[in-house]
Chain A
Amino acid sequence: MTPQPRTLLDKVWDAHVMATRPDGQALLAIDRHLLHEGSFHAFGMLDHAGRPIRRPDLTFAVADHYVPSRDRQGPIPDPEIANMVSTLARNAGRHGIRHFGLDDRAQGIVHVLAPEQGLTLPGLTIVCGDSHTSTHGAFGALGFGIGATEVAHVLATQALWQRRPKTLRVGIDGVLDPHVTAKDVILAIIAVIGAGGAVGHVLEYAGSAIRGLSMEGRLTICNMSIEAGARAGMIAPDDTTFAFLEGRPYAPAGAMFDEAVAAWRQLPSDAGARFDREVTLDASAIAPTVTWGTSPETALPVTERVPDPGAESDPTKAGQMRAMLDYMGLTPGMPLESVAIDRVFIGSCTNSRIEDLRAAAGVLRGQKALVPGLVVPGSGPVRRQAESEGLDQVFREAGLEWGEPGCSMCVGINGDLVPAGERCASTTNRNFPGRQGPNARTHLMSPAMAAAAAVTGRLTDIRRLGSR
């Protein structure tokens, strides 16, 4: 009997099922459990129930959400924020969990750090109490975000009950314009699928344009799967993946690495594997992209105009568009390139890797930013690499601040907020109302596009400005 062709998701899923319930839910083994400061609820639940942690050796704690971007010499001034950082250290310490704290040279955003340290590997199941855990799918892992009760469940059992998700293959063939990046690609995908279009699905990104991306670009793509409603996004591992992983601290080494690569080569979806849905995009048709509204699905080529709710036939949708335009302070029909910005932010688990910083610096080299801005590298290693290449000097000379690694102004809970009413060109993942601060206005875009906006003070087509 010929075996049924299987998808990448099928292969990872099947290898992790430990038990199946009559209702079809599977008890999945979890290979990596990543924690950040928000895990305090889950530790509280475990303490309350008096339960031990089953596999501290598979659990890794990273301080990223509340860590300061500036001045790490003294104590954190806000006692509530300081408490979040110290509570994680304490919970990790008492349970014997490896903790990447403020004083650790590897510290960074959990979704930047784990791949960098070789914790993220093809074929693994990876969970974290953070929706952007979808990032790790860039390696052909099944990574997804979970809530606090599920975090407590994984701490206690190293397992999760899950129903096998549906699959949606996103095929992107062709060649990207040199100024079009992974960020533009994923924004274009979300615009097609919709913010809730992939609910209940795992996305598999495939096609020549995806194969041509670096690991940094693939991480950016998978990172924003959740903004299309997909709990996870995956890309088949290949030689680009294996080359990235070799020699990483927690990755297998020597003969074990070769054995792993042999296993990883079996992971890509088989020819003829069936997906529940399929969407295709033409890579050459994707333009530098920005969002205009308060949902990532409101992504448009930067050459377009702000849409007109009057042209929308559904009155509910038209009302929702008006509410978004009102929040964003935009007028229907105005060219996106005429929108003036107050600030830029370059960072976040979406776009804070070395390639992102190189792209932004490429635009800013020898230029002055017309607006204030903050550049926050994704990790200590990224920060040191950028400094060795002189990128920090480029940013500083342009008038931007150069920060210490963490989530920073993407979510603002370390105190890095966009002031109310201000408009920020941001390389982050969410333009939700209040996301970067109460009444802050966010336009999502690539690092090069954010840098271009800094130079002109407006949303700007990077192709017009060019890299210098």
Chain B
Amino acid sequence: MQPFTTLQAVAVPLAVANIDTDQILPARFLKKPRSAGYGNFLFHDERRRSEAVPLDEPAYAGAGILVTDRNFGCGSSREGAVYALVDGGIRCVIAPSFGDIFASNAAKNGLLTVTLPEEAVAALRTRLAAEPGAAVTVDLPAQTVTDPDGAAVPFEIDPFKKRCLVEGLDDVALTLEHADAIAAYEARAAAETPWRVPATVG
């Protein structure tokens, strides 16, 4: 996983609430191998259909940040939605709230989700819409978002998620350090609650 520290990039305002993962990655692309690169599938249908998704405007070429509305990434658990964003050059999404599964998938792929109050996000969108192509700076170690005028807003983030993003850590390796605890738990559960194990079927 690519570590995330500081990012200064063109930011695209998307004034749409409840952007779901079907919009980010239409389901028909889910069967593509990861090696195919998911960037071409990012908002494949919405960017062609909706003026509210202006990713193809020249001013937003090379964009690295999305500034959107509440409940971004709701719906399907498809991690491909995160692959499409990351492969499409987006390393950070700023919104008032995120779908839980999406936010979890994002952190595991080096995509930073920044949660800010609704008014702060709306103000940032308005500022960006007034100057298409303006850049925003996201500093993860310092936990700040800086708008094109240099005004910085602090954000909260789960400390472990932050560490994983900054260091690009592998979750499974960390969990396997608890292998003894897992084995002990499994032995106890099998003895105390044998009904939890599926019955043997012929």
Given contacts A149-B109, A434-B23, contact A316 B15 (CB under 8 A): yes
- Asked if A260 and B195 make an inter-chain contact with CB atoms under 8 angstroms apart, the answer reads yes
Residue interface bits A297-332, CB-to-B below 8 A is 1, else 0: 100000000000000000011011001000000000
Q: CB-CB < 8 A to A195: which residues of B? A: 18, 71, 74
Residues of the A chain whose Cβ atoms lie less than 8 Å from the Cβ of B175: 27, 153, 156-157, 159, 161
* A51 cross-chain contacts in B, Cβ below 8 A: 172
B185: chain A residues at CB < 8 Å are 18, 29
Judged by a CB distance under 8 angstroms, whether A21 is at the interface is yes
- Inter-chain contacts of B49 with A (CB < 8 A): 433, 439
B1-51 contacts to A, CB under 8 A, are 15-18, 20, 22-23, 26-28, 30-31, 34, 45-46, 49-50
A149-B105, A434-B45 known; A196+B160 contact, CB < 8 A:
no
B-contact bits for A18-35, CB 8 A (1 contact / 0 none): 110101010101011000
Residues from chain B with a CB closer than 8 A to the CB of A41 are: 34, 79-80
Known: A157-B182, A161-B175, A195-B74. A131 touches B31 (CB 8 A): no
Does the CB pair B195–A259 fall under 8 Å? yes
* A158 in contact with B45 given A145-B77, A147-B104, A263-B193 (CB within 8 Å): no
List A residues 393-411 near B (Cβ within 8 Å). 411
A226 neighbours in B (Cβ, 8 Å): 75
Confirm or deny: B199 has a beta carbon within 8 angstroms of a beta carbon on chain A: yes
Contact B176 A131 (CB under 8 A): no
| B77 touching A146, Cβ below 8 Å | yes
Contact B178 A27 (CB under 8 A): yes
Segment at the B interface, from A180-188, A248-256, A340-348, A358-366: A248-256
Assembled-state Cα–Cα distance A267/B160 (Å) = 31
* Interface residue? B168 (CB, 8 A): no
As a 0/1 sequence over residues 79 to 109 of chain B, the CB contacts with chain A under 8 angstroms (1 = contact) are 1101000000000000001111100110011
Q: Is A234 an interface residue when CB atoms closer than 8 A count as contact?
A: no
Interface residues of B in 166-192 (CB under 8 A from A): 171-172, 175-176, 178, 181-182, 185-186, 189
Tell me the nearest residue of chain A to B16, going by C-beta.
Answer: A320
- Residues of chain A within 8 A (CB-CB) of B58 are none
Interface size class of B (residues with CB under 8 A): 35 or more
- Tell me which of A117-125, A279-287, A458-466 binds B: A117-125
Tell me if B98 and A250 are in contact (CB < 8 A): no
Bound CA–CA A256/B196 (angstroms):
10
Judge whether B30 and A432 touch: CB under 8 Å: no
Query: Does B120 reach chain A (CB closer than 8 Å)?
Result: no
| Closest chain A residue, CB of each to CB of B179 | A157
Assembly CA distance A123 to B197 (angstroms): 12
Check B52 for interface membership: any CB of A closer than 8 A: yes
Given the interface contacts A29-B189, A196-B99, A229-B100, does A249 sit within 8 Å of B201 by beta carbon?
A: yes
Given A256-B195, A433-B46, are A146 and B101 neighbors across the interface (CB < 8 Å)?
A: yes
Q: Which residues of A contact B194 (CB under 8 A)?
A: 252, 256, 259
Instruction: Evaluate contact between B101 and A131: CB separation under 8 angstroms.
Output: yes
Q: Looking at the complex, which one of A123, A295, A413 makes contact with B18 (CB distance below 8 Å)?
A: A295
Indicate if A288 sits at the interface (CB-CB under 8 A): no
CA distance A231 to B98 in the complex (A): 12
**Docked pose: A253 CA to B199 CA in angstroms:** 8
Q: When the two chains form their complex, are residues B201 and A413 in contact, meaning their CB atoms are under 8 A apart?
A: no
- Name B28's closest neighbour in chain A (CB-CB): A413
Residue numbers in A under 8 Å from B71 (CB-CB): 195-196, 199, 229
Q: CA–CA, A432 to B105, complex, Å?
A: 20
Q: Does A443 sit within 8 A of B, measured CB to CB?
A: no
Q: Within the assembled complex, what's the spacing in Å between the Cα atoms of A31 and B198?
A: 9
Inter-subunit contact A145/B101 (CB<8 Å): yes
A435 at the interface (CB under 8 A from B): yes
Whether A152 and B172, one on each chain, are in contact in the complex, defined by CB atoms closer than 8 angstroms, is: yes
In the complex, which of the residues B172, B181, B195 contacts A257, with contact meaning CB atoms closer than 8 Å?
B195
Q: With contacts A229-B99, A413-B31 known, is A163 near B158, CB below 8 A?
A: yes
**A433 in contact with B45 given A23-B159, A145-B101, A200-B100 (CB within 8 Å):** yes
- Cα A376 to Cα B28 in complex, Å, equals 20
Bound CA span A161–B178, Å = 11
Nearest 5 CB-CB pairings of A with B: A196-B71, A147-B105, A260-B195, A147-B79, A148-B79
A-B contact pairs, 18 of them (CB 8 A): A15-B193, A49-B172, A57-B198, A80-B31, A147-B82, A148-B79, A148-B80, A196-B17, A196-B71, A196-B74, A250-B198, A251-B199, A259-B195, A323-B16, A412-B27, A412-B28, A413-B27, A433-B46
